[in-house]
Amino acid sequence: MSSIRNIVVLTGAGVSAESGIATFRGPGGLWEGHRFEDVCTPQALTADPVLVHRFYDLRRAALGEVEPNAAHLALARLDRAWPGELLIVTQNVDDLHERAGARRLLHMHGELTSALCAACGVRRAWHAALPPGTQCDACGAAALRPDIVFFGEMPYAMERIEATLAEADLFVSIGTSGAVYPAAGFVQLAGAYGADTLELNLERSAGSGFFAETRLGPAGELVPDWVE
C-alpha cells in the first residue's frame, strides 16, 4: 500500500454476519417474515407505524446480544493506525463499527440507535423503545421515527462521500451485494476518479466485474489479512 494515502472503505451487511446479524438478501435474511416494502419505505411508516416501529425496536434490542467481530476490530485498528485519510462508509444501521473503536465512520443508511424528527431533522439518541407517536422534543411538530434511510429517501452525507471518493487512492468494498444504489455505484465512481478498487466478499456480487480485484471468503478472515 506504499503509494496509497486516501482510503475509502464501504461496508455492508456481510461485515456483521459473523456477529450474528442476518444479512438482507441471503437465506434467513432479515426481510423473511416481513416484506421489506412493509417496513422500509416512508409510505409503510405512514400506513402502519406500529409495525415499522416494532420491526426496528426488535432490531435495536438485538444489538445488546451481539459483539463486533474480527472484521470490525481490524477496520478499527486500521482507523487508529492509518496516517493518511480514511473514511469507513457503512450501509449498516448497527453500531458494531463504533463499538469496535472505529472513529472515521459514516452511517449512510442511518442508525438503529438514533431517532429522527421528520419535521425539523433533529437526530437524538434512541436506546430504549419509544412508542409510536412520541413527539419531537425540539420542535413538537412531528412524531419521532427510526433514523433509517428508507427506499426512495436520500442517504446521508452523499456530498461528502462523493468528494471523498474523488480523492481516494483505494476503494475497498466489504460484505455488500451491490444490489442497492447509490452505494452500489461507488466502485464505478471511485474507479473513474482513478482509485484502485478491491472487493472482499463471501461470494461474487452484482458489482464484482467493476473491481480491479475480488477476494472471496468470510470478512472475519479477509479483512484482518488485508489490514495486517
List the catalytic residues: 109
Contact between 16 and ligand BJW by CB under 6 A: the answer reads no
Using CB under 6 A, which of 7, 9, 10, 13 touches ligand BJW? 13
Contact between 179 and ligand BJW by CB under 6 A: the answer reads yes
Interface positions, 91-150, toward ligand BJW (CB under 6 A): 91, 93, 109, 148-149
C-beta of 60 vs 169, nearer to ligand BJW: 60
Contacts with ligand BJW by CB under 6 A: the residue count is 34
What is the residue type of 208? Answer: S
Whether the CB-CB separation of 146 and 115 falls below 8 Å is answered with yes
Closest-CA residue to 155 (of 12, 6, 7): 12
Using CB under 6 A, which of 114, 173, 201, 214 touches ligand BJW? 201
Closest-CA residue to 71 (of 228, 191, 222): 222
Contact between 207 and ligand BJW by CB under 6 A: the answer reads no
Q: Quote the DSSP letter at residue 155.
A: P
Read off the C-alpha cell for 48: 402502519
Interface positions, 62-91, toward ligand BJW (CB under 6 A): 91
Distances 88 to 49, 105, 136, 167, 171 between C-alpha atoms, Å: 31, 5, 30, 14, 10
Contact between 18 and ligand BJW by CB under 6 A: the answer reads yes
Using CB under 6 A, which of 175, 196, 207, 226 touches ligand BJW? 175
Read off the C-alpha cell for 4: 496509497
Contact between 209 and ligand BJW by CB under 6 A: the answer reads no
User: Residue 9 annotated as binding?
Assistant: no
What is the residue type of 67? Answer: E
Using CB under 6 A, which of 140, 182, 194, 209 touches ligand BJW? 182
User: Residue 20, by phi and psi: left (phi above 0), alpha (psi -120 to 50) or beta?
Assistant: left
Contact between 176 and ligand BJW by CB under 6 A: the answer reads yes
Q: Which stretch binds ligand BJW (CB under 6 A): 7-15, 116-124, 128-136, 207-215?
A: 7-15
Whether the CB-CB separation of 116 and 109 falls below 8 Å is answered with no
Report the C-alpha gap between 50 and 197 in whole angstroms: 42
Whether the CB-CB separation of 78 and 15 falls below 8 Å is answered with no
Q: Among all residues, whose Cβ is closest to ligand BJW?
A: 14
- Beta-ladder partners of 117: 144
Residues that bind ligand BJW (CB under 6 A): 12-14, 17-18, 23-26, 40, 91, 93, 109, 148-149, 151-155, 158, 175-177, 179-182, 201-203, 205, 218-219
Name the binding residues for substrate: 56, 59
